[in-house]
Structure 1
Amino acid sequence: MRRMDVVTAYLYGSLDSDIYMKIPKGFKMPKALSEKPKDMYSVKLQRSLYRFKQSGRMWYNRLSDYLISKGYKSNLICPCVFIKKTTYEFTIIAVYVDDLNIIGTHKEINEVDVHLKEEFEIKDLGKTKYCLGLQIEHMPNDILVHQSNYTEKVLKRFNMYKAKSLSTPMVGRSLNVDNDPFRPCEEYKDVLGLEQDSVRLPQKALEWNQTHISIPSWND
């Protein structure tokens, strides 16, 4: 899996509506217009800029159109994933704003690299080591995905980093706030919220949903 970053990605997007802005500082006005103050004029943008509401969508449309023109197909359920398959080769591109994570056969990954650099300014960041809170380690025959750094951060926050670990089987029933009191309540809710961010593995998600105490005042 390789990670690539598109430099100033939003600036590649074409605007879908007319947007005007004040003359920026340092802009040299043409002599024919220099008789009036700068604040009497405005400029019409031809490209999207950062902080525009539609900038992200315009960038996605530009990237999507380009990848589709190169034979990739956008996933119907997750449009940010693009797939290209042949008889012996395949490529999967996962897009998160301006970060691209690419997995596939060596030939196809190199081809993606060439295509992207033909159209955009790209930084090749090498193997993906971190993505959306997940740590990724590349082994000789497989890939290990974990959240060790996040788990350590949570443990340190609640002074449990040096606590002795032990195997605790999952409770065989759903916990109840009346029968299973837990104090302090606020700290418990903090732990649950942070723990929820780490339930990306199916077995851990099951344990979290089955054993946490439902608190009526969750949103208080």
Structure 2
Amino acid sequence: MTRAVVKQYDFVTAFLNAPTDREIFMEQPQGHVKRGYEDWVCLLKRSIYGLRQSPRNWNSTLHLALVEFGFQRCIKDEALYWIRVESRLVLLPIYVDDILIIGCEEDVDFIAAKLMARFNMKELGTVNYLLGLQIEYKPERHVIFRQTKYVQDIMQKFHMDAAYPVSIPMTTDAVKLIPATEDEQKRDERLPYRSLVGCMQYLVIGSRPELATAIRILSKFLNKYSAVHWRAAKRVLRYLIGSQDMGLHYDLVEARKSEKLHVEVYTDANFASEGGDMKSVSGFTVYCNGQLISAKSWKQDIIAESTCEAELIAANTGAHDAVWLEQLVDELQLPRVATELYCDSSSARELMKHAGKHRRTKQLRIKDLKIREYVAENGMVVKPVASKENVADMLTKPLPVETFRRHRAQLGVRASGSAAMSGADESSWHEKNAE
């Protein structure tokens, strides 16, 4: 699928296509009461909007139709369907009543025609806006995801239109933030802190993964915040004001250089770094052919006794995401090479490769050693990476300006036409770490 088209479709009154899965009665609607039968009720035959089971009934109806057309539902992602038409792959992701059909134009139009014969469906053309994401798709060059309009809406909602922008979302001393006292909480409880943090969370999963650390830190204080935390949250918004045109870039030219898919995962941990609980923070990024697939920043659920243990927990969790992607690629019958995992801790790398009981590692949980199985049986390759080149570092703690900008570019977040990191520069970064 080297030059695929991506067309968007919308089902009109989707839920009404689905029959009910049980006997349901309803009162006659106002203005449509039948004379002489005022005390009668209606037997509902279709899943109307407002019923709790309507979304599930619609999903089941659409699923049966797609299976009838020859599609298979992905085991690893039940919102993704796929089919091969004369060896050509066609993908069909769904979100309630919105679908995309991805493949060569002839196949896409053929499948859309079959669906339109079954359902009332509108074609919206090449995808450019979906679920709050502005999408720029150039088949020969790139895909860009932006949320500029969403950022502008947040700015207006919190009256920050005229605020001065800043270079980074959070200063390095933000890890010292502590929960507000009861008096501070009562004094500042009217501040819309929860609302602002909640609005910015969607940016992290949409097109701005570089915000993950800042939003994770702010989210710790949703129940105990004060004016100090409010100012920290507003700083993130000021960062967005200056970078609202940035988006997540996927370089299709670079991605197509390899005939096989190549999964890479970068992991890192910040040992006992935040708060009084002494728990470590983990981060990982997963790439496919040099393009970001997933990124995560989270606090570990146990207290690690050493940097090695913290790094091992982070690597194990990052490997889970990489294995999920491997299984999805295999299910779609796409060729791939062995996955590479990059970690900047030599002791953690040795524990991943070699089994053995050591005095300081006896307490490691079995689930945190799952990565050994991935290395021994799945063929995952563990490699070193310099700490300053480990992009996962930005998901474990706030960074100074230059380091933050460098890792942000490595994630693929930049403005259109930005010279922060061209496709060639990003390619050389991956190649450098692969050596």
Normalised to the residue count of structure 2, the TM-score between the two structures is 0.43
1:206 is paired with a residue whose SS is helix
Task: Note if 1:10 corresponds to 2:51.
Answer: no
Distance 2:225 2:72 in 1: 40
User: Cα–Cα, structure 1 residues 16 and 204, in superposed 2: closer, same or farther, change >3 Å?
Assistant: same
Kindly state the Cα deviation for residue 209 of structure 1 after the two structures are TM-superposed. Answer: 4.6
Kindly state the Cα deviation for residue 105 of structure 1 after the two structures are TM-superposed. Answer: 2.0
Contact 1:173/1:211 (<8 A) preserved: no
User: Cα–Cα, structure 1 residues 8 and 90, in superposed 2: closer, same or farther, change >3 Å?
Assistant: same
Aligned to 1:158: 158
User: Cα–Cα, structure 1 residues 210 and 10, in superposed 2: closer, same or farther, change >3 Å?
Assistant: closer
Contact 1:10/1:50 (<8 A) preserved: yes
User: Cα–Cα, structure 1 residues 86 and 192, in superposed 2: closer, same or farther, change >3 Å?
Assistant: same
Higher helix share: 2
Aligned to 2:371: none
User: Cα–Cα, structure 1 residues 208 and 41, in superposed 2: closer, same or farther, change >3 Å?
Assistant: same
Contact 2:91/2:103 (<8 A) preserved: yes
2:60 is paired with a residue whose SS is helix
2:198 is paired with a residue whose SS is helix
C-alpha offsets along residues 133-189 of structure 1, whole Å, 9 cap, x if unaligned? 211122352221111011122223334333443422865576232499x99673444
Distance 1:42 1:211 in 2: 54
Amino acid corresponding to residue 50 of structure 2 in structure 1: R
Aligned to 1:32: none
User: Cα–Cα, structure 1 residues 172 and 42, in superposed 2: closer, same or farther, change >3 Å?
Assistant: same
Contact 1:177/1:214 (<8 A) preserved: no
Task: Provide runs of 4+ in structure 1 moved above 4 Å.
Answer: 169-174, 182-185
Moved more, 135-144 or 60-69: 135-144
Task: Note if 1:175 corresponds to 2:180.
Answer: no
2:38 is paired with a residue whose SS is helix
Equivalent residue for 2:24, pick from 13, 19, 36: 19
Kindly state the Cα deviation for residue 128 of structure 1 after the two structures are TM-superposed. Answer: 2.0
Contact 1:175/1:213 (<8 A) preserved: no
Structure 1 gaps, min length 5:
30-36
Distance 1:184 1:20 in 2: 49
Kindly state the Cα deviation for residue 62 of structure 1 after the two structures are TM-superposed. Answer: 0.8
2:113 is paired with a residue whose SS is helix
Kindly state the Cα deviation for residue 18 of structure 1 after the two structures are TM-superposed. Answer: 1.2
Contact 1:177/1:215 (<8 A) preserved: no
C-alpha offsets along residues 100-123 of structure 1, whole Å, 9 cap, x if unaligned? 222222122112211111101111
Distance 1:148 1:195 in 2: 12
Distance 1:151 1:75 in 2: 33
User: Cα–Cα, structure 1 residues 184 and 198, in superposed 2: closer, same or farther, change >3 Å?
Assistant: farther
Distance 1:213 1:21 in 2: 43
Identity of aligned residues (%): 25
Aligned to 2:374: none
Contact 1:137/1:143 (<8 A) preserved: yes
Distance 1:218 1:77 in 2: 38
Amino acid corresponding to residue 127 of structure 2 in structure 1: T
User: Cα–Cα, structure 1 residues 85 and 184, in superposed 2: closer, same or farther, change >3 Å?
Assistant: farther
Aligned to 1:95: 94
Aligned to 2:112: 113
User: Cα–Cα, structure 1 residues 103 and 174, in superposed 2: closer, same or farther, change >3 Å?
Assistant: farther
Kindly state the Cα deviation for residue 213 of structure 1 after the two structures are TM-superposed. Answer: 6.9
Contact 1:10/1:49 (<8 A) preserved: yes
User: Cα–Cα, structure 1 residues 179 and 2, in superposed 2: closer, same or farther, change >3 Å?
Assistant: same
Distance 1:39 1:28 in 2: 6
Aligned to 1:144: 144
C-alpha offsets along residues 13-44 of structure 1, whole Å, 9 cap, x if unaligned? 11211122334444657xxxxxxx31343332
C-alpha offsets along residues 183-204 of structure 1, whole Å, 9 cap, x if unaligned? 9673444432222121124742
Amino acid corresponding to residue 50 of structure 1 in structure 2: Y
Amino acid corresponding to residue 101 of structure 2 in structure 1: I
Aligned to 2:79: 80
Distance 1:2 1:178 in 2: 48
User: Cα–Cα, structure 1 residues 160 and 47, in superposed 2: closer, same or farther, change >3 Å?
Assistant: closer
Moved more, 74-83 or 114-123: 74-83
Distance 1:155 1:169 in 2: 15
1:53 is paired with a residue whose SS is coil
Kindly state the Cα deviation for residue 93 of structure 1 after the two structures are TM-superposed. Answer: 1.7
Normalised to the residue count of structure 1, the TM-score between the two structures is 0.79
Task: Note if 1:192 corresponds to 2:197.
Answer: yes
Q: Provide the aligned length of Structure 1 versus Structure 2.
A: 212
Kindly state the Cα deviation for residue 59 of structure 1 after the two structures are TM-superposed. Answer: 1.1
1:160 is paired with a residue whose SS is coil
Query: Which one scores higher on RCO, CA 8 angstroms, separation ≥ 6?
Result: 1
